[in-house]
């Protein structure tokens, strides 16, 4: 957390900074865990001050300020980071401010309770190298069903674990992986290589539906209250979660109790009735190929 819907909400929320000129960049002293900011403060300020923000993009779970000198400021919120246009939840965990001119927003804030996020100022070449296709997969909102199958179907990893691999598909984290698999009616522990063509299509449809719905509700603010949009307002998609963090509560579809398991040291939530047993794993390779038209190209 934040995942694709939260970061996309941040990106949309700060678009008023487009056209603004950067007047100053200030790293805020904090008694908490120091934030990773690169390059060092003096070089960061020298390169950023005087530039104009030409665009606001997103790469996976990162917000990117495109500057008119072809460099980019990349915010990676990781667990608790927020990119804000208004005063942050508190000043104690404020990490960076960017002073702006020539636009209505006068400041852009980066706040991070746990200090696990990163902020990087990258040249165009560095940006292209860091986020090359061999380092990060296609965006979860752009990937096609066939691409998804091609990238994952040969893997023996459990599907829930595979969806968290940003090199395969970018933007999905622990929360939305559980939600997507529930909507697709796929058991989270089924191996990728056991999924049928129909299941890959169902997974792709569920991915787009869940992520777009979460964006419409401006993300999920969980019980710790950390995530906020760019105006420091809570998201609303937590009120529509199907299974995430709902262990022992009724499934909204069949009313069977939601189960929690641990995969790759992360909590996974699913409905044992809607998502069924891992029976697909016993299907023969021939039968799996015949059950759908999507087959990974080798």
Active site residues: 2-3, 61, 266
- Rounded to 10 degrees, what is the CA torsion of 278, 280, 281, 284? 160
Q: Answer whether 180's CB lies under 8 Å from 203's CB.
A: yes
C-alpha of 11 from chain center: 12
Alpha-carbon span 117 to 255, nearest angstrom: 38
Q: Answer whether 222's CB lies under 8 Å from 188's CB.
A: no
Residue with tokens 């169902």: 202
Q: Residue ranges of the alpha helices (H) in the chain?
A: 4-13, 41-48, 124-130, 145-152, 159-163, 174-184, 197-216, 285-290
Alpha-carbon span 148 to 145, nearest angstrom: 5
Cβ-Cβ contacts under 8 Å for 74 (sequence gap 6 or more): 59, 62, 63, 64, 65, 118, 119, 120, 121, 122, 127
**Which parts of 5-68 are beta strand (E)?**
21-27, 36-38, 53-59, 62-67
Cβ-Cβ contacts under 8 Å for 129 (sequence gap 6 or more): none
Residue with tokens 């709902």: 246
C-alpha of 89 from chain center: 21
């Amino acid at each position: 957390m934040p995942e694709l819907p939260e970061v996309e909400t941040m990106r949309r929320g700060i678009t008023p900074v487009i056209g603004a000129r950067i007047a100053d960049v200030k790293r805020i002293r904090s008694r908490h865990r120091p934030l990773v900011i690169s390059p060092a403060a003096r070089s960061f300020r020298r390169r950023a001050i005087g530039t104009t923000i030409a665009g606001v993009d997103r790469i996976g779970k990162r917000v990117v300020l495109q500057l008119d000198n072809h460099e980019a400021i990349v915010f990676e919120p990781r667990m608790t980071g927020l990119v804000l246009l208004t005063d942050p939840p508190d000043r104690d965990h404020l990490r960076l401010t960017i002073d702006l001119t020539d636009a209505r927003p006068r400041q852009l804030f980066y706040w991070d309770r746990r200090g696990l996020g990163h902020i990087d100022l990258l040249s165009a070449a560095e940006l292209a190298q860091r986020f090359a296709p061999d380092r990060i997969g296609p965006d979860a909102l752009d990937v096609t069903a066939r691409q998804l199958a091609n990238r994952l179907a040969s893997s023996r990893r459990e599907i829930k674990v595979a969806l968290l691999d940003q090199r395969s598909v970018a933007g999905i984290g622990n929360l939305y992986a559980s939600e997507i698999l529930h909507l697709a009616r796929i058991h989270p522990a089924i191996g990728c290589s056991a999924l049928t063509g129909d299941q890959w299509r169902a997974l792709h449809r569920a991915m787009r539906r869940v992520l777009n719905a979460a964006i419409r509700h401006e993300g999920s603010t969980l019980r710790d209250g950390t995530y906020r949009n760019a105006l420091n307002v809570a998201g609303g998609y937590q009120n529509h979660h199907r299974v995430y963090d709902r262990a022992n509560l009724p499934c909204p579809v069949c009313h069977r109790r939601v189960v929690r398991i641990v995969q790759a040291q992360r909590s996974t939530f699913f409905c044992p009735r809607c998502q069924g047993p891992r029976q697909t794993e016993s299907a023969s390779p021939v039968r799996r190929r015949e059950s759908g038209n999507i087959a990974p190209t080798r």
